[in-house]
Structure 1
Amino acid sequence: EQSPAPVPREVNTELLMDRQILKRGSAAKTPPPQDEGDTDAADAGWLAPGGRLHESVKALSQWPVPLCTPKDSSPGIVAPGLHAHSIDSKPLRAVAKSLGVSLNDLLLRDLFLTLREWNRNHGKSSDRDWLRINMPTNLRGPDDRNCPVTNILGYAFITRRASECDAPGELLSGIQRDTTAIKQWDLGGYFPATLATVSRIKGAMSLFTTSSRCFATAVLSNVGDPSRRFVTQLPRKHGKIVAGQMVLDRILGAPPLRPKTHAAFLIVTYAQELTICVRSDPHFFSDQSSRELLDAYFAQLDSNLARN
């Protein structure tokens, strides 16, 4: 018996306005209890880290710098425009566990260190520069189980001064606090909520989407193991999916780029391997420069193994 064809749903901006119901069907996450009529407590909730006003002001006041273009780079479109490298995921997971953080936290911290060092080596860099990583977050809920292939996601932004990279341990602890808040309060939902608000103001959406400012220095999307979400269960050999005479060796891809965001990274875990893919803006990075950026990231990750 065939399943009924999916029925397109109309966009409901009211759903986008409330992060409590962005994950449809999930229990609403309530903030810490406050006394009725306690306006100071209510204001504190808005102004506290993770509060809507706090997050909005932070995003608008901390304009990040883009990734510097190497002086000897010869930009140009080269197919497929994607570089990837795979390593055994177990050693890095062990390092993250020993530090009391998630693997994703470690990947974020080391990407900040890589971005800071890259800008130091390839352009004018200031300790007061803001660096920002855009981390896409999953907003799918139980009702989206049968939804066709589409993006149901939000964006969470992690921003740091370049000078904060001088203290990697403190940087890692701060990132862990941020990612915990992002998960606990579904902060990735602020991005579609912002779009819903902006769409109600005439001309604001055009201004918002065509701004010449840099919104993120880089993108880091960790999709985990996509093969675990395959509907059809296929046999495996050495952890890799086998389909007839073919073996699915690796899963590659990269998030899209927007103006001023010159690099996007994708993290995939599959068959006990960690694969990192990078796509760089071909208008600013040569194919060789993109490869060097990925190598610099892996060199930073390898330094963790050398210390442990």
Structure 2
Amino acid sequence: MPYLPLTLFEQYLLHEDQPGYPSRIVQELQFNGSVNREYFEKSVHEITAMHPLLTATVEKRSFRSPHWRIDDSSTFPIHWHEHGPHSFRPELKRFDITKEVSGELHVIESNDRWTLLLNISHVICDGVASSALLQDILLAYDNRFGKVHHIPSPIPELLPHRSKFGLSISKKIALLPAQVTGLIIAATLAQRRISPLNPAPLEYPEQPDPEGRQNVVSKYLDQSRFDQFQKLTKTSGKSLNDHCLAFLHSAIGTWRNRNGVGSPEDWIRISVPKNLRSKSDLHLPACNVISITPIDRQSKGLSNRERLLRRAHEDMTFIKKGMLSLTFLALLWIHRLRPNGIRKMSHRNICRTTAVLSNIGRVFPLSPLLDENQKLHIENATLEKTITVAPIRPQTQTTLLLSIYGGELCMDLNFDPLALNREKAEELLDDFLAEFKSTLTRETTQPREN
């Protein structure tokens, strides 16, 4: 398998990588304790060798779709730094995926702490896959101290099927009516002029690449409150994702009103990445198996929280039943019919979405390394905190990534410094967090019927 065609979504991500806006995922794991360099490097090489795309490059061919060029002789880079984890930030490389391995690991050591940073092109894999990759590296590392953890074995031969999503021909035929409906809806959405979070110039100047957490703010919903909130979702019949979608729309409305931004007629779009993995994809190597679903609301309706939650639940249920997340991939296929169609779509000088909301769920679900408090332990080290930075693009000024670790809901907001400063980004994330707290307060103080 020396050559492998890029999927439609991989081609889209390839063109999303633009000056000042690298299409990459950065994950940071902060440990208490120490790390054994020799064992860790061997573990990294053992695991990354199982995933062909980690060391592959993209080859653009004339009159043909781009292909992955698999290179089994390349290794995944590891950089070691002897500095205090909180005072030193390594330079994160801006990759040219047509020429080089487009991922790297940084390990920052001090006497009693160490930090692991993964910097990887989004063209290679999504956040679910990068989290699984880090978990397998940690399992392999712990095994070198005499442990016997099972590590799933990826099957590289499945990579050509990574865009089939476990759908049989009969299932695809059954989904056709829903997909036609999805394309009709998409045609309507395409006519809307989407408003950015904060007015910004349409012509963005080239800027230095953001380095790690430089343009990221993080908040946490503590374990006690998150446990309460999960109980609330079970009794309400609305999922965590339903609530988060409604909360982000509401928070954007609150933030814009406070800052005097926009008008009541503005359309606010939140794009939600959707994991499309099926049971048949369990042994896929690291790659992208996702799509995107846009959810629109008008500014004048962002203060009605009950309606926002009801609409979020209705929309997400409708999307799930009809697998309308596939509609975006169908649109990419249509754009690909014209020369450079996907690139032209990606580089349109407009605001395509106000914000992105991504929920990768539990960072290390069902890991044997987790204790009763959902904290991960390896030899001589405990994982205390995780931070994940999802990419932004011109005009899409914020990306909010949610994850669950140690029983807490982690919220990492990547923001565009050309559109808002750190104080304003903190305000937006505070508004989002306040939605959880106010909902819990209302539920605990409202009178119960006898």
Shift of 1:140: 2.3
Show the counterpart of 2:21: none
Matched residue type, 1:85: K
Shift of 1:62: 2.4
Show the counterpart of 1:201: 338
Show the counterpart of 2:290: 153
Show the counterpart of 2:259: 122
**Matches for 1:94-109 after TM superposition, within 5 Å:** 94-109=231-246
Show the counterpart of 2:25: none
**Residues 248, 168 of structure 1: CA spacing in aligned structure 2 closer, same or farther, 3 A cutoff?**
same
Report Cα offsets for 1:42-75 as digits up to 9, x if no partner. 7xx677xxx13322222202232111169xxxx9
**Does the aligned pair in 1 maintain the 2:193–2:267 contact within 8 Å?**
yes
**Residues 91, 208 of structure 1: CA spacing in aligned structure 2 closer, same or farther, 3 A cutoff?**
same
**Does the aligned pair in 2 maintain the 1:255–1:264 contact within 8 Å?**
yes
**Residues 147, 30 of structure 1: CA spacing in aligned structure 2 closer, same or farther, 3 A cutoff?**
same
**Does the aligned pair in 1 maintain the 2:246–2:309 contact within 8 Å?**
yes
Higher relative contact order (CA 8 A, sep 6+): 1
Matched residue type, 1:244: E
**Residues 271, 244 of structure 1: CA spacing in aligned structure 2 closer, same or farther, 3 A cutoff?**
same
Shift of 1:229: 6.6
Is 1:256 the counterpart of 2:251? The answer is no
**Does the aligned pair in 2 maintain the 1:64–1:132 contact within 8 Å?**
yes
- Residue among 209, 217, 223 paired with 1:83: 217
**Matches for 1:66-77 after TM superposition, within 5 Å:** 66-68=196-198
- Matched position secondary structure for 1:256: coil
Show the counterpart of 1:10: 5
Give, in whole Å, the separation in 2 of the partners of 1:130 and 1:235: 43
**Does the aligned pair in 1 maintain the 2:218–2:412 contact within 8 Å?**
yes
Matched residue type, 2:165: K
Show the counterpart of 1:304: 439
TM-score (norm 2): 0.56
Matched residue type, 1:219: V
Structure with greater strand share of residues: 2
Show the counterpart of 2:166: 24
Give, in whole Å, the separation in 2 of the partners of 1:229 and 1:209: 37
Show the counterpart of 1:59: 189
Show the counterpart of 1:213: 350
**Does the aligned pair in 2 maintain the 1:137–1:153 contact within 8 Å?**
yes
Give, in whole Å, the separation in 2 of the partners of 1:8 and 1:215: 32
Give, in whole Å, the separation in 2 of the partners of 1:7 and 1:146: 20
Give, in whole Å, the separation in 1 of the partners of 2:370 and 2:229: 27
- Residue among 171, 174, 179 paired with 2:308: 171
- Matched position secondary structure for 1:221: strand
Shift of 1:278: 0.6
**Matches for 1:134-153 after TM superposition, within 5 Å:** 134-153=271-290
Greater mean deviation of Cα atoms: 210-219 or 283-292: 283-292
**Does the aligned pair in 1 maintain the 2:175–2:322 contact within 8 Å?**
no
- Name structure 1 gaps, 5 residues minimum: 1-5, 34-41
**Residues 94, 198 of structure 1: CA spacing in aligned structure 2 closer, same or farther, 3 A cutoff?**
same
**Residues 53, 226 of structure 1: CA spacing in aligned structure 2 closer, same or farther, 3 A cutoff?**
same
Give, in whole Å, the separation in 2 of the partners of 1:140 and 1:32: 17
Report Cα offsets for 1:255-306 as digits up to 9, x if no partner. 2111111110111112321111111012222223222221121122211111
Show the counterpart of 1:3: none
**Does the aligned pair in 1 maintain the 2:270–2:296 contact within 8 Å?**
yes
Give, in whole Å, the separation in 1 of the partners of 2:4 and 2:366: 23
Identity %: 24
Give, in whole Å, the separation in 1 of the partners of 2:262 and 2:332: 32
- Residue among 386, 408, 421 paired with 1:273: 408
**Does the aligned pair in 1 maintain the 2:179–2:327 contact within 8 Å?**
no
Shift of 1:185: 1.7
Give, in whole Å, the separation in 2 of the partners of 1:257 and 1:115: 17
